Amino acid sequence: MGDKLMIGLSGLMALRRHVDTLANNVANQTTSGFKAQRTQFREYLTAAKEGEAPSYEKRSLVDTSHFTDFSTGGLRATGNPLDVAITDDAFFVVDTPAGRRYTRSGAFTLNDTGKLVTLDGLPVVTSTGQLVVQPRDGAVNIGSDGTVSTAKGRIAGLRLVTFADRRQLQPEGSGLFSSVSSPVDVPSGKGRLAIGVLETANVNPADEVSRLMAATRAYDVMANAVFKGDPPEELRKLAGDS
C-alpha cells in the first residue's frame, strides 16, 4: 500500500470517527443530562526527502484525543417531583448489569415494585442502597439537599459523587459513565439539587448540525480524493465508507 494511500486513509478514518461523534451528539440533543463528545485534531506532514517541499498529498489529519464536554446544560421545568437536576459538578449513581455507573440525568420514577429507578429501569443508589418505597408510605418527595422522604419522614438520601479528574470518566451511552478511579461521596444532605426540573443536553442543535454537515462534506471530499478509481472493498470498509 503506497504512502499517499496510507496518509489519506489515516485522515479519512479520523474524519469518519469525527462524523460519528457529531452524529451521536445530534441524536442525543433531547437526552436529559447528556454530555457532548468532542474530538481534537492535529495536522502532520510526512517526512519529505532532502530538498523536497512538503506537498498537499503528504498532509493528513490525526484525531489525537476524544473527550467529554462536561459543561452544564440548561434546566427544563417538568413539574414532576421525581425529576431532579444537579446544580454543581456531582453525579448520580445507578446500578447496571455491568456494575455501578454514573449519570447526570435525574429523570427518576418508581417501578411496579416501588423501587426508585431511572427511565431505563436502572436502580438509583441512595444512602441505604437501592430504595424501595411501600405504597402505604405515601408519596415520595426529594429535597434540594438530596433527602428522600415520605409521609413517614426521611427514608434515605440520594447518593451523589464527584471525581478528582472527570477526564477519566468513560461514556457508555444512554448518559452513563464508568470510571477506573473511585468517586468521592458528597456528604449526605449536602447535595445541590433543583426539584421538578431536568438538566438538558449541553448540545446546541443548530451548531452541532452545522458541524456535522461540515465534517460530512470534508469526509466526502477526502474519500473522493483517496478512492480514485476502484479501490478494494477492504479499504472502503477500513475507512468506514461502505
Helices 3-27 and 205-226, packing angle to 10 deg: 160
Instruction: Say if residues 234 and 17 touch (Cβ distance below 8 Å).
Output: no
DSSP state of 112: T
Q: How far is CA 85 from CA 113, 127, 152, 237, in A?
A: 24, 18, 25, 42
Q: Residue 233 pLDDT more than 90?
A: no
What integer pLDDT is reported at residue 183 of this predicted model? Answer: 96
Q: Cα 170 from chain centroid?
A: 8
Average pLDDT of the residues in 86-105? 97
- 91 or 241, which is more confident? 91
Which H helix or E strand runs over 173? Answer: strand 169-173
229 band by pLDDT with thresholds 50, 70 and 90? low
Report pLDDT digits (tens) over 6-21. 666 777 888 888 999 9
Report pLDDT digits (tens) over 192-213. 999 999 999 999 999 999 999 9
